[in-house]
Structures are given as structure tokens and as C-alpha cells.
Chain A
């Protein structure tokens, strides 16, 4: 039975697409047949982050409208086996996503994939509601910053009341917190909400903390999910996150300030 996971946040620019790309890549790396869907109709970006923007021919809305088959629209990742990308349409608007249409496509994907990752657009409009409606689990991406935390709380409310699971009285959507762009030094100084602060306010289990890192921008420049960047902290944090999702009990790394050695202080690296 396939699991549908929504990557959502409410607020924009907190790292939903970065997380979707690395999370899906990590699942596929570990041998699970995985597809990642861009729900941001009109403003697609997952293709860029995954580095497959020039291979997009058909999209999600084409399939919903019956203008293309699933096989025509799915893009096979060239680096990682078992990984497929379903891009969003760039020319339509979010009204093109109908509940029936999305349901039909997801059911078809369930036949051939174990994990279906839905990259939600920002906001709480139709695209975001469609991305979370069918979810079994949710990765709520939050930055340690007031507006992001508030919006995440709002999204948690929507998950609890307007998902299909809520409407049908099934067991609720399983929620996971992903705290991204975390700077342990600043939290330590009291200039940034700490992991504990955010956990106390949102009250959902922590799946992973992704440290603020220059590598994230560099890897998106190159169209490579950051989880594939060997030696980067953010990449390693996403690796841990995926392992934890799959049931491994790993301690959280990169949440306390590092003691920088003399050489590191001289040659500062991201």
C-alpha cells in the first residue's frame, strides 16, 4: 500500500521544495519506489530543484485532463533509481486541480509507487488544500521565526480538520516537524527560537533539523537535491531525516553550536 506524504508549511520560502526534493531522493536512494509531485500549478519549481526542467513535456494538469498518460508525464531521475518526478503545469492556474482529478492520478500512482511525496504550494488556497487532502502523513516545514511558526500551526489545524482522513473520521494525518534553516549559534545566543521553543509551541514530533547552510543555495543553483551533496551538513541532516522517517532511531545532529578549531576559524566554510 502506497503512502502519500505532503510537504507543507503555509508560509512560502521556508524550504518545502528543497525538502520535497531531498526527502523523495532519500527514499528512492534507500530502495523505495518514489514519485514526487509538484502541486504548485502556475509557479512550478520542483523541476528546477531536481534539475530536470528541460525534460518536462507533459504535466500534472495534462494527466488530470486526460491529455497525456501518466507514463508520458513522469520524468525518471537520471541520478537515482526508483525516483520519478511529476511536474506542475506552468500555464494553468490552481483551479485546474480538482479533487476527483487528483484522486484519480494518485490512485494510478499507488499501483506502481511505495511513496508519493506531494510538494505543496505556499498559502492555504486550492493548490495547498489539494496537496494535503489525500495525505497519510505530513512533513510540516518550519523556520525558527515567528511568521513561519504561526503559519505552521494554522496548517496543522487545516490538516486536522480538512484532510480526507479528518472528513472521513479515519485515523488522523501523521504529523512530522522539519525545522529548516536552523542556526544553532544564534539560538544559543537567544537571537533565534530554539528547537525546544518551536517544539513547545507546535507540539508535534520532530523529524529533523536542517541547519542553515550555503550548500542549499549552491545545490539548487546546480539542480541537485542537497541530500546528494556529500560532506554537506544540510545533506547529512536530510539523510538522517529520511532514516528517521523509515524508523531508525538517530540522535539529532547540528543542533548545538560547533566548537570551531583554529584552522576552521581561519578558513571559514559553509
Chain B
């Protein structure tokens, strides 16, 4: 490329390589969050089993349990969020619902 050309070329928009790099940095960071470095393949299974345990006592829905793993510095935080159903609307199970001692 001659000096003339480089001097008088129209100012170009962002170079495509820069664009590529930025897009890659975002997608790669996102995908590493759920894949890289011994990361939890076990999360879906953990979620399913937790749900089964909780369901023994309280009827909850598949989408009312949220499992989230965060990495900060040297440690990891496993966050577990279970939304319990509204008590009024749900039939309760447990000893207090058993028929009490007869009245007669």
C-alpha cells in the first residue's frame, strides 16, 4: 500500500479483526462460566435431586428451584433458591393434618 493511499483513504470504520476480538471475548467469557476448569457438570443432577428431596415435604415446581454457582477469587459460592408455594393455597401434609383423636 502506497503512502498516498494510506494518507487519503476514507477513515474506515472499526477494523473487522477488532470486532472479532471483542465478540470472542464476550462469548468465550460467557461459555467459560458454564464449562471451563473442572466446572460443574453436576449442577443439573444436583438440582434434580434437591428438588426430589424438597418435594418429599413441600410440593414445589421444577422452575421454583434455582441453583447458581459463583466464583470470586479463590472460592466458589453455591447459591440455592427455592420458592416455597403459598401455604394458604397448598394442601399441607404432616401430622397436624391427620384426623385428631375422635370426639366421641
Residues of A within 8 A of B (CB): 145-146, 149-150, 153-154, 156-157, 160-161, 166, 187, 189-194, 197, 200-201
- Residues in A whose Cβ lies below 8 Å from that of B24: 146, 149-150, 193, 201
Task: Select which of B18, B25, B37 is within 8 A of A160 by beta carbon.
Answer: B37
Q: List 18 A-B contacts (CB under 8 A).
A: A149-B24, A153-B31, A153-B36, A154-B35, A156-B36, A157-B31, A157-B32, A157-B37, A160-B36, A161-B37, A166-B38, A189-B15, A190-B15, A190-B16, A191-B15, A193-B17, A200-B21, A201-B28
State in angstroms the CA–CA spacing of A191 and B20 once bound together: 9
Q: Are B38 and A190 in contact (CB under 8 A)?
A: no
State in angstroms the CA–CA spacing of A140 and B26 once bound together: 21
Max count, chain A CB within 10 A of own CB: residue among B21, B24, B37, B39:
B24
Q: Is B88 an interface residue (CB 8 A)?
A: no
State in angstroms the CA–CA spacing of A190 and B25 once bound together: 17
Q: Are A193 and B36 in contact (CB under 8 A)?
A: no
Excluding A146-B24, A191-B15, 9 further A-B contacts by CB distance (< 8 Å) are: A153-B28, A153-B36, A154-B31, A157-B35, A157-B36, A161-B35, A200-B21, A201-B25, A201-B28
Nearest Cβ on chain A to B19's Cβ, whole angstroms: 9
Q: How many A-B residue pairs have CB under 8 A?
A: 56
Q: Is B23 an interface residue (CB 8 A)?
A: yes
Provided the pairs A146-B23, A150-B24, A153-B31 are in contact, do residues A197 and B36 lie with their beta carbons within 8 angstroms? no
Q: Are B35 and A191 in contact (CB under 8 A)?
A: no
Select from chain A the residue with minimum beta-carbon distance to B38: A161
Task: Select which of B21, B31, B39 is within 8 A of A197 by beta carbon.
Answer: B21
Interface string of B34-50 (1 = CB under 8 A from A): 01111101000000000
- Residues in A whose Cβ lies below 8 Å from that of B32: 153, 157
Q: Are A201 and B21 in contact (CB under 8 A)?
A: yes
Q: Is B89 an interface residue (CB 8 A)?
A: no
- Residues in B whose Cβ lies below 8 Å from that of A193: 17, 20-21, 24
- Residues in A whose Cβ lies below 8 Å from that of B36: 153, 156-157, 160-161
Select from chain B the residue with minimum beta-carbon distance to A203: B28
Select from chain A the residue with minimum beta-carbon distance to B39: A161
Nearest Cβ on chain B to A220's Cβ, whole angstroms: 27
Select from chain B the residue with minimum beta-carbon distance to A167: B38
Within 8 A of A (CB), among B1-36: 15-18, 20-21, 23-25, 27-28, 31-32, 35-36
